[in-house]
Amino acid sequence: MPDNDMIVGLDIGTSTVCAVIAEYNDEGMLQVSGMGMVPSEGLRKGVVVNIEAAQKVIAYAVELAEQDAGRTVHDVYTSVTGGNVEGLNSRGVVAVSGRGREVTSLDIKRVIEAARAIAVPMDREILHVIPQNYMVDDKVGIRNPLDMIGVRLEADVHIITGSIAATQNIIKCINRSGYKVNEISLEALAGGESVLTEDEKELGTLFLDIGGGTTDIVVYYEGAPHYTGSLPVGGDQVTSDMSIVMEQSLDMSEKIKLNQGCCWEPLVDPRAEVLLAGLGGRPPRNFPEIEICRIIQSRMAEIFLLIRKQLDQKGYRNHLGGGIVISGGGGMLQGTAELASDIFNRPVRIGIPSGIKDLPASCRTPVYSTAVGLVLAAQNEEMSFSAETDTAGTGSVRSMWKSVKDWFSNFI
């Protein structure tokens, strides 16, 4: 049975594993009581490649959060990412069956079922079906058609599919660490829950989660996702480029990136230099920071240009009235907002998680966006269950979670 007085969000990334424990206080408000963050192992580009290594870091991150909260975790909400995840839009149509031609909750369920009837390859499964809007006869753009009168009900939905094997490997690692998985979400959708405002989702916003191994893309407008995608590049490629050009180890390059890294030339002092260790007995040497910036900027620009091309192909760049929000650890790189704003010609902000009362300062960083978003999405789902009213769904992650309980309740 899930713990009903606490929610645990577990973000298993290529670079970092983050666990957040949130508990309901006496007033029924969620508060974060424990956090754990450890460097990740056993994943490549968001996908598990070494179960044993991944299982160990998962267990460690959750244990840290358990110690922090003084609680024992039994079950978690988690997410998947990577190139195996795909999004597409679909439409369903049904005849309104209710008495007096009033749309009932059953009609809404039927039309969503009709919209999700797409051909899914054997090795993939549907993770989310998110209603965008409904039409009743010729009335378009309806958010909740319940009780409206009409003959024909249509629904536009965004469907996200993922690889069954990739999802099951994540579940297996968590199960082997001793925890059950309540639900599984697309990572960037969870991130959007904790970082984006309702206005941004409504006006049209590009949400980017720049992780270590992947950059995840979600375009929201009119309150719901319309486009999801993922690039197999992230902050790790930046570090690897630096390491090749500067002839330094990956660890040293990562350190320099975190301390002096910047991807927007105008922010860098052209006289500043970094002292690099000499390899193989060679003496240390100075390397201009502006040169480091150029290495980083060209890789980050490439990532943004690839995303811009995808958006242009689909025509979504004209729907970004709310601008661009960047989260994930890669968003902490200095100059990211400036570079993205230059490339997309839209206002850009770096998204940090919010939405939970008194969120600890250490949690208010882009690295925690997904874990906090998983908690928020789970809370929304619990609220919608207890209210038992939201049959229409409104475009948030809740009610679209992939229910995985059946698969693995006996998995441990």
Ligand X SMILES: Nc1ncnc2c1ncn2[C@@H]1O[C@H](COP(=O)(O)OP(=O)(O)OP(=O)(O)O)[C@@H](O)[C@H]1O
Residues binding ligand X (CB under 6 A): 13-16, 40, 46, 81, 211-214, 234-236, 239, 254, 257-258, 261, 328-330, 332-333, 367
Minimum distance of ligand X from residue 98's CB (angstroms): 44
Phi/psi of residue 354, nearest 5 degrees? -150, -170
Instruction: Return the number of the residue (21 or 210) whose C-beta is nearest ligand X.
Output: 210
Instruction: Return the number of the residue (142 or 231) whose C-beta is nearest Mg ion.
Output: 231
Select from Mg ion, ligand X, none the partner in contact with residue 14, using the beta carbon and a kind-dependent cut-off of 5 to 8 Å: ligand X
Between CA 234 and CA 209 the distance in angstroms is 9
Minimum distance of ligand X from residue 209's CB (angstroms): 6
Q: Which one of the spans 111-119, 170-178, 205-213, 348-356 is the region binding Mg ion (CB under 5 A)? A: 205-213
Instruction: Return the number of the residue (136 or 238) whose C-beta is nearest ligand X.
Output: 238
Instruction: Return the number of the residue (10 or 73) whose C-beta is nearest ligand X.
Output: 10
Q: In what order do the strands lie in the sheet with 86-95?
A: 86-95, 152-163, 124-136, 139-142
Contact assessment for residue 232 and residue 209, using Cβ atoms and an 8 Å cutoff: no
Between CA 37 and CA 11 the distance in angstroms is 9
Contact assessment for residue 188 and residue 83, using Cβ atoms and an 8 Å cutoff: no
Minimum distance of ligand X from residue 349's CB (angstroms): 16
Q: And the tokens for 177?
A: 């660490």
Minimum distance of ligand X from residue 378's CB (angstroms): 19
Instruction: Return the number of the residue (47 or 219) whose C-beta is nearest ligand X.
Output: 47
Minimum distance of Mg ion from residue 212's CB (angstroms): 7
Q: Which one of the spans 204-212, 217-225, 271-279, 284-292 is the region binding Mg ion (CB under 5 A)? A: 204-212
Phi/psi of residue 285, nearest 5 degrees? -140, 160
Select from ligand X, Mg ion, none the partner in contact with residue 261, using the beta carbon and a kind-dependent cut-off of 5 to 8 Å: ligand X
Q: How many helices (H) and strands (E) does the chain have?
A: 11, 19
Instruction: Return the number of the residue (34 or 235) whose C-beta is nearest ligand X.
Output: 235
| Cβ-based neighbours of 101, under 8 Å, separated by 6 or more | 149, 150, 151
Q: Is 324 helix (H, G, I), strand (E, B) or coil?
A: strand
Instruction: Return the number of the residue (15 or 133) whose C-beta is nearest ligand X.
Output: 15
Contact assessment for residue 32 and residue 363, using Cβ atoms and an 8 Å cutoff: yes
Instruction: Return the number of the residue (82 or 150) whose C-beta is nearest Mg ion.
Output: 82
Residue whose C-alpha is closest to residue 204's, from 227, 229, 230, 188: 227
Select from ligand X, Mg ion, none the partner in contact with residue 373, using the beta carbon and a kind-dependent cut-off of 5 to 8 Å: none
- Considering only residues 211, 330, 335, 366, which one is a binding residue for Mg ion as defined by CB under 5 A? 211
Residue located via tokens 């660490």: 177
Instruction: Return the number of the residue (17 or 112) whose C-beta is nearest ligand X.
Output: 17
Select from ligand X, Mg ion, none the partner in contact with residue 204, using the beta carbon and a kind-dependent cut-off of 5 to 8 Å: none
| SS3 letters across 40-51 | CCCEECCEECCH
Q: Is 105 helix (H, G, I), strand (E, B) or coil?
A: helix
Phi/psi of residue 133, nearest 5 degrees? -160, 170
| Cβ-based neighbours of 391, under 8 Å, separated by 6 or more | 105, 108, 109, 146
Instruction: Return the number of the residue (94 or 367) whose C-beta is nearest ligand X.
Output: 367
- Considering only residues 8, 12, 13, 227, which one is a binding residue for Mg ion as defined by CB under 5 A? 13
Phi/psi of residue 169, nearest 5 degrees? -65, -40
Minimum distance of Mg ion from residue 370's CB (angstroms): 6
Contact assessment for residue 275 and residue 255, using Cβ atoms and an 8 Å cutoff: no
Q: Is 192 in the site for Mg ion (CB under 5 A)?
A: no
Residue whose C-alpha is closest to residue 161's, from 119, 209, 216: 119
Minimum distance of ligand X from residue 208's CB (angstroms): 11
Select from ligand X, Mg ion, none the partner in contact with residue 212, using the beta carbon and a kind-dependent cut-off of 5 to 8 Å: ligand X
Between CA 253 and CA 242 the distance in angstroms is 6
Minimum distance of ligand X from residue 301's CB (angstroms): 16
Q: Which one of the spans 7-15, 28-36, 52-60, 158-166 is the region binding Mg ion (CB under 5 A)? A: 7-15
Select from ligand X, Mg ion, none the partner in contact with residue 36, using the beta carbon and a kind-dependent cut-off of 5 to 8 Å: none
Minimum distance of Mg ion from residue 340's CB (angstroms): 18
Binding site for Mg ion (CB under 5 A): 13, 211
